[in-house]
């Protein structure tokens, strides 16, 4: 929680409102081709921790708003 507060506090209200309305999952899905190319991967999956139990390395617990946990297998 402290890291999230430290991240949010210096943000302007306008910037915070923009981030608060952002659908992170949708942004990642819209940029799958870019992620594949930049990571040199053939497959990239975007999974929502609330809808999947697959988390073999326990990365989900490190995710906070605007800083998703990323697991590369």
When pLDDT is averaged across residues 46-61 and rounded to a whole number, the result is 77
pLDDT at 8: 65
DSSP 67: B
Cβ atoms of residues 59 and 69 within 8 Å: yes
**So where are the chain's domains?**
2-62
pLDDT at 37: 94
**1-40 pLDDT, tens digit each:** 667 667 667 767 777 777 778 888 898 899 999 999 999 9
pLDDT at 4: 65
CA distance 73 to 5: 30
* CA angle at 51 for the pair 66 and 56, rounded to the nearest 5°: 80
């Amino acid at each position: 929680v402290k890291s999230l507060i430290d991240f949010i506090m210096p943000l302007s209200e306008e910037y915070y409102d923009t981030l608060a309305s952002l659908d992170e999952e949708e942004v990642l899905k819209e940029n799958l081709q870019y992620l594949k190319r930049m990571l040199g991967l053939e497959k990239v999956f975007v999974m929502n921790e609330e809808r999947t139990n697959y988390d073999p390395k326990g990365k989900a617990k490190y995710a906070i708003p605007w800083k998703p946990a990323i697991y590369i297998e």
